[in-house]
């Protein structure tokens, strides 16, 4: 963060779903989940600069995504409407997270916008209020607003903070996009995993965790299955969210780097450490 009253440089970290169970389907078609969210020390970055004229300007444009649909612009306009604030912002986005990768990049960008503009515009809104605004933008936004690794239920908005192990991860993008709605709409998806308690989920720890979306994503997207097989033969590996990204859990940075160096050239990947406190909150001191 640059410590100035008119400009902030802030991280928008990735998340992983360390486990994900689908326990039911609501009347509106959305699915009831149980999941463990954790942050990574890798993500996008936003530079927010105060504008006195109320305009919200985002650079650079994201190909194929009109600004009015961009969660950053939507979050900024929502905060203006909610607070009555007449100020604006120039927002510069350094995009590092793949879109639709299951790493929550768009949701994290939205949360960084809400917390960053709250600070820049000196609004002083509570995390409860900002999380409520975030939920209207997407189910994954509240966890990024609250900034604590969490056990989540509902569609992901009922959050209980947790302390998880913080291994090193190799995060792999298999080079294809997975459509979230296609996975949730698939006939073969299991939607009846019996709900468990948070204590039970935590008790088993990482070796006991799985993602209910994985069999469906494997069969719909053979490239994901192939990448998962390759990664899983080297280290315990899983899918995050509905994919397409996969993550392998390693005991040290050295072993993570070694695995990254061995990765076939057809995949893109990065290494990162698991974090129980979001780097956004560390930067803002919240
Ligand atoms: C599965 C997770 O990655 C877990 O972190 C997220 O909940 C997905 O969040 P997201 O990518 O922001 O997804 P959204 O854009 O909200 O939803 C895309 C589509 O997935 C389906 N969807 C999503 C979340 C959910 N709990 N149930 C669903 O059925 C809906 O058809 C929805 O139209
Ligand atoms: N700032 C943004 N960055 C990325 N995507 C955005 C942004 N604003 C809106 N979107 C839209 O949101 C969609 C999902 O993007 P995101 O990167 O959050 O996916 P994801 O990593 O799969 O998230 P999740 O884990 O929540 O499923 C994109 O395909 C895009 O259309």
Catalytic residue among 3, 15, 90, 165: 15
What was the pLDDT predicted at 32?
97
pLDDT at 4 over 70: no
Return the pLDDT at 1: 57
Residue 98 annotated as binding? yes
* Interval between CA 183 and ligand 1 midpoint (Å): 9
Q: Is-catalytic flag, 15?
A: yes
Q: Compute the half-sphere exposure of residue 17: CA atoms within 13 Å on the CB side of its CA.
A: 29
Distance between Cα 180 and ligand 1 center (Å): 6
| Residues with a CB atom less than 6 Å from ligand 2 | 65, 69-72, 99-107, 109, 140, 180, 241
102 is in an annotated binding site: yes
The structural domains of the chain, with segments of one domain joined by +, span 7-162, 168-275
Place of tokens 């947790």: 162
68 annotated to a ligand binding site: no
Which residue lies with its CA nearest to atom 30 of ligand 2?
Answer: 99
pLDDT number for residue 12: 98
Query: What is the number of other CB atoms lying within 10 angstroms of the CB of residue 134?
Result: 28
- Establish whether this prediction's ipTM goes over 0.95: no
In angstroms, how far is the first alpha carbon of the chain from the final one?
13
3-state secondary structure 78-133: HHHHHHCCCCEEEEEEECCCCCCCCCCHHHHHHHHHHHHHHHHCCCCCCHHHHHHH
Does the predicted TM-score (pTM) go above 0.90? yes
Residue 211 has pLDDT above 90, yes or no: yes
pLDDT tens for 228-238 read 999 999 999 99
Write down the CATH number for the domain with range 7-162.
3.30.230.10
Q: What is the pLDDT of residue 100?
A: 87
d(CA 8, CA 43): 16
Q: What is the pLDDT of residues 117-170, one digit of tens each?
A: 999 999 999 999 999 999 999 999 999 999 999 999 998 889 999 999 999 999
In the predicted model, is pLDDT for residue 93 greater than 60? yes
Strand residue runs (E) in the chain: 7-25, 31-51, 56-59, 88-94, 150-153, 158-161, 168-173, 237-239, 246-250, 268-275
**What mean pLDDT value characterizes the chain?**
96
95 belongs to the catalytic site: no
Q: What is the CATH number of domain 168-275?
A: 3.30.70.890
Asked if domains 7-162 and 168-275 share a fold, the reply is: no
Strand partners, 89: 50, 56
Residue 34 in this model has a pLDDT that exceeds 60: yes
pLDDT above 70: residue 242: yes
- 1 exposure class (CB count in 10 Å sphere: 0-12, 13-18, 19+): middle
Q: What is the pLDDT of residue 2?
A: 54
**Best substitution site from 180, 191, 241, 247 to test ligand 1's pocket, by max atoms within 8 Å of Cβ?**
180
């Amino acid at each position: 963060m640059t410590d100035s009253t008119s400009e902030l440089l802030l991280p928008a970290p990735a998340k992983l779903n360390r486990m994900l169970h689908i326990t039911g389907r609501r009347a509106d078609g959305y699915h009831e989940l149980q999941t463990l969210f954790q942050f990574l020390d890798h993500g996008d970055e936003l530079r927010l600069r105060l504008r006195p004229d109320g305009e919200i300007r985002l650079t650079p444009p994201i190909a194929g995504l009109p600004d009015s649909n961009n969660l950053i612009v939507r979050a900024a306009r929502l905060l203006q409407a909610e607070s009555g604030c007449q100020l604006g912002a120039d927002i510069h986005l350094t995009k590092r997270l793949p879109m639709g990768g299951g790493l929550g990049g768009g949701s994290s960008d939205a949360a960084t916008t809400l917390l960053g503009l709250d600070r820049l515009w000196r609004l002083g809104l509570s995390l409860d209020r900002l999380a409520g605004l975030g939920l209207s933008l997407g189910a994954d936004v509240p966890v990024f607003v609250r900034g604590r690794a969490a056990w989540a239920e509902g569609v992901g908005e009922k959050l209980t903070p947790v302390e998880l192990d913080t291994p090193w991860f190799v995060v792999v993008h298999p080079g294809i996009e997975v459509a979230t709605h296609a996975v949730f709409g698939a006939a073969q998806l299991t939607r009846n995993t019996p709900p468990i308690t948070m204590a039970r989920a935590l008790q088993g720890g990482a070796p006991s965790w799985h993602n209910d979306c994985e069999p469906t994503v494997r069969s719909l997207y053979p490239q994901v299955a192939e990448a998962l097989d390759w990664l899983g033969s080297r280290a315990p590996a899983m899918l995050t969210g509905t994919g397409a990204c996969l993550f392998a859990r390693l005991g040290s940075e050295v072993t993570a780097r070694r695995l990254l160096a061995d990765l076939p050239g057809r995949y893109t990947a990065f290494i990162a450490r698991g974090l129980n406190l979001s780097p956004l909150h560390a930067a803002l001191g919240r």
